[in-house]
Amino acid sequence: MAVVSNEKMSAKQIITCAAYAMGRRVADVELNDVHEVLKDQNQFVWIALHEPSEETLERVQQEFGLHDLAIEDAHSAHQRPKIELYGDSIFVVLRTAQVNQQHIDFGETHFFVGDNYIVTVRHKSSVSYANVRSMCEHSPHLLSKGQGFALYAVMDFIVDQYFPVVHELEMELEAIEDNIFKDKPSRETTQQIYQLKRDLLEVKRAVSPLVEVCNRLTRFEIKCISEETRPYFRDVYDHVVRINEMVENTRELLNTALEANFSLISISQNDVSKKFAGWAAIIAVPTMVAGFYGMNFRFMPEIEWEYGFYAVILLTVAACILLYYFFKRSGWL
């Protein structure tokens, strides 16, 4: 019965389990038979898992003799991107990201790479690596470089997926710029800035440890990564550095945008004050005049004059118009 449940389980969790020789897929293997295949030094096994159960991971551990801690890490998907050496094998953790309806979905992928095997463990991330695998299978002269190249192919795919993510964030920054410089200052813009900062930090946290990971894959002597695949990891390194730079750039611009936004709010405040002061001054004139002629003195010459009323109205209106032009010219209205 254990076998049956295993079969069922495999259907979901084990995406692929195949042996490759000379860069070509030579056989699909049962997980339980992997140790047989591993005896042939000219082959390597590529296993792709998706959110494996503890049981599956245990079987993988037994087949390849992996370290307890690596398996523990592979099960609980909340790791920082990192690379660890356990004897001759390495354990790599990457975080994946995709844009999904203006929202960034993060996932996680783990790699166990050894002498003649590579195991990829996908968590949460929705994009399958089936395409990467088939692309590799279409260029056997590259895949013949071994499991190191398979590792590169998937890493390159994961890293390249960050470019649209960062592009999306740059677009959001531009939208914020438009809001700041074209529209009025608003609570929404401030909140957008804050949200973008949050997203940038999240992406940075996922990408920046990759610099060190790629660096180690490029420089240090790791037995299971063949010498000739090194330039490929340097290429991934370049991409990672570029993504980091783009994120850093966007972050610095965002900080400036926040400050510019703040300056503009103050200028806007200034404008309100000036406008208010200007209109208050204009309205003060007729009010003062009206008060003046509302006094109850017995002897006020104009009051007796027949056209006094009209004369006063005319003068008042003239004064208001004069004030209006004066404020208009000095930019208060």
257 forms part of the interface with a copy of itself (CB under 8 A): yes
CB of 211 to a copy of itself, least distance (A): 13
- What type of residue sits at position 290? A
Would you give the binding string for a copy of itself spanning residues 212-241, x where CB under 8 A is met? -------------------xx-xx--x--x
Residue 16 CB, shortest distance to a copy of itself, in Å, is 26
Strands 43-50 and 117-123: parallel
Among 22, 27, 280, 321, binds a copy of itself (CB under 8 A): 280
Cβ proximity to a copy of itself: between 39 and 298 the closer is 298
Q: Are 158 and 109 in contact (CB under 8 A)?
A: yes
Residue 58 buriedness (CB in 10 A; 0-12 / 13-18 / 19+):
middle
Nearer to a copy of itself, 37 or 150 (CB): 150
Choose which of 167, 275, 314, 322 interacts with a copy of itself (CB under 8 A).
275
d(CA 80, CA 64): 24
Q: Which of 107, 110, 147, 113 is nearest to 127 (CA)?
A: 107
Amino acid sitting at position 256: T
CB-based contacts of 325, cutoff 8 Å, min separation 6: none
Minimum distance between the CB of residue 1 and a copy of itself, rounded to whole angstroms? 29
Cα angle, residue 216 at apex, residues 16 and 160 outer, rounded to 5°: 55
Nearer to a copy of itself, 128 or 269 (CB): 269
Binds a copy of itself by CB under 8 A, chosen from 12, 80, 138, 223? 80
128, 266, 318, 321: which one binds a copy of itself (CB under 8 A): 266
Beta bridge partner(s), residue 93: 82, 110
Q: Which of residues 288-327 bind a copy of itself (CB under 8 A)?
A: 288, 290-300, 302-304, 306-309, 312
Near a copy of itself by CB under 8 A: residue from 198, 219, 223, 328: 198
Report how far residue 251's alpha carbon sits from residue 258's, in angstroms, rounded to the nearest whole number. Answer: 10
**C-alpha pair distances (Å), 319 with each of 29, 303, 313, 322, 332:** 97, 20, 10, 5, 17
Catalogue the E-assigned strands of 115-206. Answer: 117-123
Report residue 45 as tokens.
């096994």
Report the alpha-carbon distance of residue 92 to residue 154 in Å, rounded. Answer: 12
Count the residues of the shown chain that bind a copy of itself, applying the rule CB under 8 A: 82
Part of the chain binding a copy of itself (CB under 8 A), chosen from 2-10, 16-24, 108-116, 198-206: 198-206
Among 126, 220, 245, 328, binds a copy of itself (CB under 8 A): 245
* Nearest-approach distance from CB 218 to a copy of itself, in angstroms: 11
Instruction: Candidates 33-41, 57-65, 127-135, 248-256: pick the segment binding a copy of itself (CB under 8 A).
Output: 248-256
Amino acid found at 122: R
Site for a copy of itself in 142-181 (CB under 8 A): 177, 181
Q: How far is the CB of 87 from a copy of itself (least distance, A)?
A: 10
